[in-house]
Amino acid sequence: MTQPATQLTATEAMIAELQMPDTGWSKAARADALGRLRAMGLPERRDEYWKYTRPDTLIAPVAPKAAVFDNDEKPLFDDVDRLKIVFVDGVFDADASDDLTGEGLTIERLATATSDLHWARDFYGTLETNGQTPVARPLAALNTAFATDGVLIHVTGVVSKPVSLIYRHLSESSDAILHHCIKMDAGSELTVLENGPAAARFNKVMEVDVADNATFHHVRTQGRDHERRAATHIFARLGAESLFKSFTLTVNGVLTRNECVIELTGDDASAHVAGACVGDGVFHHDDTVFVTHDAVNCESRQVFKKVLRNGAVGVFQGKILVKAGAQKTDGYQISQSLLLDDDSQFLAKPELEIYADDVACSHGSTSGAIDEDALFYLRARGITKAEATNLLTLSFLAEAVEEIASEEMRDEINSRVAAWLERHRS
């Protein structure tokens, strides 16, 4: 691949700012990732995959500053019995974290797991590498090469206590790169929670291998800091009869790009990925999803809902690829935006690519305002216009939020959205 000189310069300028950690077993994978990064180059504005989202600030050698946002909201998931792992500006905080032990799993840190025979040696970066075709994801390769820390979770049984990754942001110039590996053995179960703004700029990769009959639940919220930036990737492989469910709530943030790359490789597997975001003003949120069906009788759902106002921008790029032989595929994709004024924008690129002849795939994308008939119905019952608008906004997001399996967490997410709506009344 030949790159223009400007792109080469940008890539090298970024690499020059970074230091590759020396962690023994991951050395080869990191060197490989660096080679791939150099070959593909960092994203540029003219890249088709970055048409709707400017990568400039994500690839700047030095992260743009982001003010730390103080709020007195009760921390998320506070009432959930969970195993807490805290990173402050990307640096592990042992004092704030629980002991990294639990029933049915082992947890280590990327930065300190130095044994040469570590299981992660054959895992780290492999799903990321697979996810680089057919579309390049250079920021993920950069992550694999330069990640400073992260968690390595090997799940061997049914884990009842969720693993909760908490990302605090205290420095206005922090630039964090974390890489998590989750290896789920056959029949195992795990819930991973993530919350917090993480850093001024956050690059995160999570690789999840869900073996046959295993179940993975993921609930994430990206912190309320207005000026933070994030580029995140989830790479997941699903074995036969496995279940993968991921939900993300994004509230505020000047720039967020969440990519999710899922490959269904075993028959009868199910993958659901959902997102709800609410943005007011300087807010750009991009959900980029790529689901590959490469087995028989699998189901996938993509449900993305965006509430935008005062010039906020939402982007959705979602693809379902059904390979030859992936018969009886049931693929569903919906992306919708609720535009609360005329200034906001929603850009959607839904794609289906199907090489099997016995499949059911559907996709839809809509942009609209609050339903006037529903608004009048609520007001005719005495509910004020502002309150009725909030109810209908929650109603709009419901299909995405309902993808969260736990009712307790659903309620918590809904109450966060309700609080945001209350603060951002017109």
Least separation in angstroms between CB 137 and other proteins: 33
What is the spatial distance between Cα 277 and Cα 285, in angstroms, rounded to a whole number? 8
Question: Which residues sit opposite 231 in a β-bridge?
Answer: 203, 257
Looking from the CA of 325 toward its CB, the CA atoms found within 13 Å total 6
What is the spatial distance between Cα 348 and Cα 345, in angstroms, rounded to a whole number? 10
Q: Cβ–Cβ contacts within 10 Å for residue 25, how many?
A: 17
Pick the closer one to other proteins by CB: 355 or 376.
376
399 sits near other proteins (criterion: CB under 8 A): yes
Pick the closer one to other proteins by CB: 47 or 387.
387
60 sits near other proteins (criterion: CB under 8 A): no
Query: Which secondary-structure segment (H or E) carries 192?
Result: strand 189-196
Stretch that binds other proteins, among 26-34, 62-70, 109-117, 398-406 (CB under 8 A): 398-406
Residues 301-330 that bind other proteins (CB under 8 A): none
Residues 350-379 that bind other proteins (CB under 8 A): 371-374, 376-379
b or e along 321-332 (b: 16 or more beta carbons within 10 Å of the residue's beta carbon)?
Answer: bbbeebbbbebb
- Amino acid present at 233: H
The contact mask relative to other proteins for 225-264 (x = CB under 8 A, - = no) is ----------------------------------------
The answer to whether the CB of 124 falls within 8 A of the CB of 29 is: yes
Pick the closer one to other proteins by CB: 246 or 336.
336
398, 405, 418, 419: residue in contact with other proteins (rule CB under 8 A) = 398
What is the spatial distance between Cα 88 and Cα 169, in angstroms, rounded to a whole number? 6
Least separation in angstroms between CB 121 and other proteins: 46
The answer to whether the CB of 178 falls within 8 A of the CB of 148 is: yes
DSSP state of 211: -
Least separation in angstroms between CB 365 and other proteins: 18
405 sits near other proteins (criterion: CB under 8 A): no
What is the spatial distance between Cα 333 and Cα 302, in angstroms, rounded to a whole number? 5
Least separation in angstroms between CB 103 and other proteins: 35
Judged by CB under 8 A, how many residues of this single chain contact other proteins?
26
Pick the closer one to other proteins by CB: 186 or 374.
374
Least separation in angstroms between CB 286 and other proteins: 24
Residues 378-397 that bind other proteins (CB under 8 A): 378-385, 387-388, 391-392, 394-397
What is the spatial distance between Cα 334 and Cα 365, in angstroms, rounded to a whole number? 6
Provide the binding-site residues for other proteins, judged by CB under 8 A. Answer: 371-374, 376-385, 387-388, 391-392, 394-399, 401-402
